[in-house]
A and B are shown apart, each in its own frame.
Chain A
Amino acid sequence: DIRMTQSPASLSASLGETVNIECLASEDIYSDLAWYQQKPGKSPQLLIYNANSLQNGVPSRFSGSGSGTQYSLKINSLQSEDVATYFCQQYNNYPNTFGAGTKLELK
């Protein structure tokens, strides 16, 4: 199985700040990488797929980058509604695997 190591596990940031979340795959996943946002009590929502493609309806302050084994999610100008847990997922190989999540809070 491909292991997805996500960091940091938790993050505290101020409104308007830029936030970066990293995901490291245990082998090359050829950009088959998605980022999801999950707010408390809600289902995950797709933000980014194919490492850097923005899902329809997602604000442009969210962006993804990376290749090979290293990927990142960037949130520009943090808003209060961005408080959530973020998960990465590789879908290059079965079994699909998720990172452990990054809990983002406001400072």
Chain B
Amino acid sequence: QVTLKESGPGILQPSQTLSLTCTFSGFSLSTYGMGVGWIRQPSGKGLEWLANIWWDDDKYYNPSLKNRLTISKDTSNNQAFLKITNVDTADTATYYCARFRVTTPFDYWGQGVMVTVSS
């Protein structure tokens, strides 16, 4: 059974760094073809893809966030991470992590974690 769960700070101030953790089970990020991605959704709005990391540590980022994103993984502890530097109010959203594979896009999603950026 595949499950994913996001965790984060809940609230942070502008200019701080947002650190998110995705803890998953039911698959391994060391298995060929596996990957974890991060997607966010401001309240009442659409979905925005942020970053993907593959089993072989290949990484892809949304260029609209310029160089503010860093995705990483800890295979032995079944976790993936996303850092967003220099946050502002526009980064307020629910952040999801999701599994993908070579054969399928995001087939399992976490429940999401709400992040509010406010002074």
By a beta-carbon cutoff of 8 Å, the part of chain A in contact with chain B is 1, 34, 36, 43-46, 49, 55, 87, 89, 91, 94-101
Contacts and interface: CB of A to CB of B under 8 A. Distances in A.
Contacts of A100: 46
Contacts of B63: 1, 95
- Interface residues of B toward A: which range? 20 to 34
Lowest 5 A-B CB distances belong to which pairs? Answer: A43-B109, A96-B49, A98-B47, A34-B105, A95-B62
A44 B99 CA distance: 12
Contacts of A91: 100, 105
B44 to A, nearest CB: 10
A46 B100 CA distance: 11
24 contacts: A1-B64, A34-B105, A34-B106, A43-B111, A44-B47, A44-B106, A44-B109, A45-B109, A46-B105, A49-B104, A49-B105, A49-B107, A87-B46, A89-B105, A89-B106, A91-B100, A95-B60, A95-B61, A95-B62, A97-B49, A98-B46, A98-B49, A99-B46, A101-B46
A88 to B, nearest CB: 10
Nearest to B63: A95
A91 B102 CA distance: 11
A100 B104 CA distance: 21
A55 B107 contact: yes
A39 B61 CA distance: 27
B49 A43 contact: no
B48 to A, nearest CB: 7
Contacts of A101: 46-47
Given A94-B60, A95-B62, A95-B64, A46 B107 contact: yes
Nearest to B112: A43
A43 B96 contact: yes
Contacts of B104: 46, 49, 55
A45 to B, nearest CB: 7
Nearest to B60: A94
